[in-house]
Amino acid sequence: MKTHRTILIKLPKDKCDVDYIRRLMALANLAYRGFEVWAPDLPKTIQYQLYGSFKNYMGSLVFGTTPKRWFARAWVPLKTVRVYADSSMKGDKSAPVVLDFESSVIRLRQVCRDELGYSIEVQMPKWVVERVREGGDVKYAMIGLRDDEPYLALVAEREVEPYQPSGYILAIDINSWSHGIAWGLLRSGRIVSFKQEGLNPQRIVSLYNQAVKREKKVGRLKRLGLEDTLNAKRAGRLVRRLRSRAYRLIRAEAVFLARKLTKKALRYKAMVVIDDVDWESLRELLTRKYGGKVGKLLLSGLKRFVKLLVTQLQWYGVPYEFRRLYSKKCPRCGHKLTQQKGRTMVCENCGFKAPRDEVPIYWALKAMPGASAGLT
């Protein structure tokens, strides 16, 4: 099967014409809907490349989701040509994106500014080299805007078949940020190891609340007509920094956990069972505990973790499945569990007892052959 991984590269804004990229994105939106609109003042080479990309790769992951609105910003699909260290070349020579592995640079031709022959160079990330070493090929690229900043997306593609599991199961419980991500390694009907990966929701919430506090200060200054004062500008910069730090912290934790659990699955050649979480219930829990906007922010981090985890499992051919792993239902008899002091769950029907974060692991254990010994 074909698997994909994507990286976003921020482009220098001083070398990119944001309005030009926005126009290309508008053409991409039309191309999604089956229209070919030829703008007379835009380079014909780029427009031919745009519509050719859609015709050739409409089924490709690079195009993502079809825009739901006419004025949605659709990223522009681009072809790539790869130039390797041995001077061999792969791809369309006229492609606007050149991956030069010999010089470790990426060249963008005619997609950043409407000037004949205009091109820019950016440093090639190690991510690209690593994906190629693993047998991938960066066939696709996209350019677009995110918060009015220009970005290049590179999409690596790889043909891989899932390996045959060795008998191990890696069960992953998608908990709220409050208590981290719990995972258990199972074999022969028993829990071999269990761990909770501690996260730092307090730090994230603190950064976000500080940003909101400064934001209110900026709002008061604006209402007084003082938005151009030094204090207002300084507070505005601090708001952006605090929000950025909170987002980066969530992103870094999600990336770290997804990579760690993927490596563990590969080490044991394990089958991965992921909690098929009820996102709506989790959203209500997080918004009730931390507040609406902070809860949504934490929920987005959890969703990012799951997406990163699944993407990496697919890339390395790790077999996985989603299965509902309950934390309030007894894995032995199915009755509702009662929570006691210290987050210990007890079944009043059959006497089952376990820490709350281990209960989902017992549900994964229950599905294994010979698991009855582990549930006694």
How far is Cα 326 from Cα 235, in angstroms, rounded to an integer?
45
CA dihedral 251, 254, 257, 263 (to 10 degrees): -90
Cβ atoms of residues 169 and 186 within 8 Å = yes
Tokens for 369?
């052959």
Q: Which of 335, 82, 143, 295 lies closest to 204 in space, CA to CA?
A: 295
Burial class (CB in 10 A: 0-12, 13-18, 19+), 23: middle
Label each residue of 68-80 as H, E or C.
Answer: CCCCCCCCEEEEE
- Which residues share a beta bridge with 108? 97, 120
Sheet holding 338-340, edge to edge: 338-340, 344-346, 353-355
Q: How far is residue 104's CA from residue 112's CA, in Å, rounded to a whole number?
A: 20
- What pLDDT does residue 373 have? 47
Instruction: Identify which of 21-30, 40-49, 54-63, 317-326 has the greatest average pLDDT.
Output: 317-326
The whole-angstrom separation of Cα 141 and Cα 155 is 6
What would the CATH number be for the domain defined by 169-198+254-375?
Answer: 3.30.420
Beta partners for 314?
none
| Mean of the per-residue pLDDT values of the chain | 85
What is the value of pTM for the model shown? 0.83
Contacts of 245 (CB under 8 A, 6+ apart): 207
pLDDT band at 122; cut points 50, 70, 90: very high
Mean pLDDT, rounded, for 319-332: 91
Q: How far apart are CA 190 and CA 66, in angstroms?
A: 45
- How much is the average pLDDT of 45-54? 73
Run of H or E including 267: helix 230-268
Distance between start and end Cα atoms, the chain? 40
Write the DSSP string, 268-290.
HTPEEEEE---HHHHHHHHHHHH
pLDDT of residue 311: 93
Q: Write the single-letter amino acid at 86.
A: D
Of 116, 76, 124, the closest CA to residue 99 belongs to 124
Q: Tell me how far apart the alpha carbons of residues 312 and 267 are, in angstroms, rounded to a whole number.
A: 14
- Helix, strand, coil shares of the chain, percent, nearest 5, are 45, 25, 30
| Residue 345 near residue 327 (C-beta atoms within 8 A) | yes
The predicted-structure confidence for 4-46, as pLDDT tens digits, reads as follows 899 999 999 999 999 999 998 888 888 877 787 888 888 777 7
Give the residue with greater pLDDT, 123 vs 279: 123
- Of the ranges 49-58, 174-183, 276-285, 329-338, which one carries the lowest mean pLDDT score? 49-58
DSSP assignments along 152-170, one per residue: EEEEEEEE--PPPP-S-EE
DSSP letters for 7-28: EEEEPPGGGS-HHHHHHHHHHH
pLDDT tens digits for 350-364? 889 998 889 999 999
Rg (CA), the chain: 25
Using an 8 Å Cβ cutoff, are 218 and 239 in contact?
yes
Tokens of residue 177, six digits: 């940020």
Res. 157: pLDDT tops 70: yes
Cα 220 off chain centre by:
36
Percent of the chain with pLDDT over 90: 40
Task: Tell me if 215 sits within 8 A of 246, measured CB to CB.
Answer: no
The residue ranges of every structural domain in the chain are 2-159, 169-198+254-375
